[in-house]
Amino acid sequence: MDTKINERVDSWLNGAFDEATKADIKKIQSQNPDELVDAFYRNLEFGTGGLRGIMGVGTNRINKYTIGMATQGYANYLNKTYPGGEIRVAIAHDSRNNSRQFAEITANVMAANGIKVYLFESLRPTPELSFAIRTLGCQGGVVCTASHNPKEYNGYKAYWNDGGQLVPPHDKNVIKEVDKIASVDEVKWSGGEERIVLIGKDMDEKYWEMAKGLSVYPDVIAKQHDLKIVYTPIHGTGIVLVPELLKRYGFTNVTIVEEQAKPDGNFPTVVYPNPEESEAMSIGLKKAKELNADILLGTDPDADRVGIAVKDTKGNWLLVNGNQTAVLAFSYLIEARKSKGIAKSNDMVVKTIVTTDMIDRFAEQNGVACYNVLTGFKWIAELIKEKEGIEDYIIGGEESYGLLVGPKLRDKDAVSAVAILCEMAAYEKNKGRSLFEKLIDLYVQYGFYKEHLISITKKGMRGQEEIAEMMQSYRDNTPKSINGSPVVQLLDYELRKGKNPQTGEEWDITLPKSNVLQFILADGSKISARPSGTEPKIKFYFSVNDRLSSAAAYESVNEQLNERIKSIIADMKL
């Protein structure tokens, strides 16, 4: 081990850390030195979204000390930003192992720093935390969750006074304050417990009332109240709010996947508790087939992502990806509001730059403004805030299974999305067709857009370096063509510059700086490369499109688009 790693290990063995922590370090020291290197080779980075990492001892792990130090830095920034008045924060947690402990530590440190804390009495979905911040007039908030990561992980997401995650300048400023905390001795661990207030049922009621108000066609639900719904919370927080919300919407035939109903941080039935993964949805799919259900829905542990499955025209069940789900949800709300006569001339929708461009086309042809923002729901929240009082926000979404209906909270909300998606299924069933048939109709009308995602993980100390080298190589050696189609635009969001490699023309990108590259091809294909901000991972997003002349041509065009994606991936040697 190098000198810095040894120094960090020694500081934990000789510092103000509990004996159990020191014993764990000594055990790893003797049994697995490589693990000790990974646990101490750096300080776990407090990124723009907060902390996320593997739980365990060490500076590069999620534990009570890294949580406490992060909270001290965040509390220092809150006190600097709001001097003199009462500062309030809301704190929530999901079903992960140690999440309750981490939430209580966060509450204690905040309270010891003179901040009033509203701590949820037990696990709650992330969207309810965002809603609580706005409802209670808080200046900030924290939710302890690692979203859809495996059971070994946990995390810490920080929020600002609008209920959205931290954005500039607050994100960088909080990071600076967190980085200043050099020792656990600087953390105020206790001393303000009287400032902690437990919240729960009253906030649930307010959330359910808000979410029920998002319904566009309650009369259609009344006609289709026995829509066969299967729902799985995948061992997470969705069980707290989703079944009751569906009941309040008027649905009477809801089956919960019992094997995954109980909140459990070990996620015993899955490897990845993520509705994007077919494995996580497999038990629900089995139940949906048994019951001949109309729709299957699943939410991740903190209930901010939603996945769905529906039957195709042959009765086969298929998982609908995040782009397709967004297309269905956006189209439903825009069309239903028009049909109901409640659409406004200043209606707007928001999506991210890696989410299907089919939404842009749909919105344009329906006279609704569509804005594109950087990846991450905090940017959707920021745009809602920017346009508040000027334009009427309807829905926002991203390809990674995130949707937010209505402006009453500022993070993706799978709880209300489940209800709206079920209403949409009821609406289509009332017209004698399925959601799959609706999706094909949209393809025929607006073009068949097909997307694919590849995620490459580079583990260990070299992981981040390898990813940085990969991105630099694309910048230094931009391909003139991919899969035989000329690259007509290179969009570099890090440099905030766009360029046509064919003509040399350049232009400025107005979005904030972000380490993302996009290649736009002459045939309409789009490839995006985006390293993760929290993990040693890089994602490649592929989007291709073609005309669909009729529903009957769906399978052949689908196969052609699949082959085009495969050819692009092969040409890029991924």
Residues in the chain: 574
Measured distance CA(490)–CA(497) in Å, rounded: 8
Distance, in Å, from the CA atom of 82 to the CA atom of 161, rounded to the nearest integer, reads: 11
- Residue 404 forms beta bridges with which residues? 396
Contact 125, 303 (CB under 8 A): yes
Which DSSP string corresponds to 280-343? HHHHHHHHHHHHT-SEEEEE-TTS--EEEEEE-TTS-EEEE-HHHHHHHHHHHHHHHHHHHT--
Which residues are CB-neighbours of 316 under 8 A, at least 6 positions away?
none
Q: Which residues pair with 118 in a beta bridge?
A: 90, 197
Query: Alpha helix locations (H) across 83-212?
Result: 99-112, 126-135, 170-180, 201-212
Contact criterion met (CB below 8 Å) for 364 and 338: no
Whether 550 is catalytic: no
Which among 95, 99, 130, 147 is annotated as catalytic? 147
- The Cα 407–Cα 420 span in angstroms is 15
**Residue carrying structure tokens 């697995």:** 32
Q: How far is CA 492 from CA 350, 471, 509, 510, 517, in A?
A: 21, 10, 8, 11, 5
Where is 88: in which H helix or E strand? strand 88-93
- Rounded Cα gap, residues 211 and 214, in angstroms: 5
DSSP H or E segment with residue 453: strand 448-457
List the one residue out of 467, 484, 479, 482 whose CA is nearest residue 536. Answer: 467
102, 144 contact by CB (below 8 A) = yes
Q: Are 158 and 109 in contact (CB under 8 A)?
A: no
Helices 64-81, 170-180: inter-axial angle, 10-degree rounding: 120
Q: How far apart are CA 517 and CA 474, in angstroms?
A: 8
Q: 477: which 2 tokens?
A: 């050696």
Give, as one character, the DSSP assignment of residue 193. G
Residues with a known catalytic role: 147
